[in-house]
Structure 1
Amino acid sequence: MLDQELRTVIMELIRERGSKKTICPSEVARAFASDNWRELMDDVRAVARNLHQKWRVQIEKDGKSVDPDNVSGPIRLRLREDSDE
């Protein structure tokens, strides 16, 4: 259930931001649980990886698309231009 709720928040924030801009996973965690957002970061990143695998979200680091299974440090999320979302 948590995964579905995080997915919803990710997609809402990305749509609000617009297709040319990105969001930070911490924005998702803070929108979901402002007091304990750090505890959700691993979950947010896992849901983002799943969305990436389903071709809905692009994961970027330093402005370039990256493999979410082989990236560390800060990442950004963007709605894929070819997404059906």
Structure 2
Amino acid sequence: MKLVTVLILTALPLYCYAGIGCNIMDDVISMTIDPDVNVTEYINNMQEFLPGEETEKAFTFMKECFLHQSEETLENVKVLQQAIYSSFWCARY
């Protein structure tokens, strides 16, 4: 789970560097780590990013992983997210 989180969050500067998708990525990550959003609601909100059943299964698995994390871990993910957004690569966007 931690590897998946690190891989997702390390991709953020690339999106920001390209100048597209930062707001969308922020919304997706916020919904992913929000413990108040259940899997069904999450999948319904992510439909535009789900081209097929396999992708939907991956999103479902990822959301379920975050739902099983402690509040401390979720707060640490938010801190990491902000550190990435404040990085040199995303600062311009």
TM-score by length of 1: 0.36
> Higher relative contact order at CA 8 Å, sep ≥6: structure 1 or structure 2?
2
Structure number with greater Rg is: 2
- Which structure has greater helix proportion? 2
TM-score by length of 2: 0.35
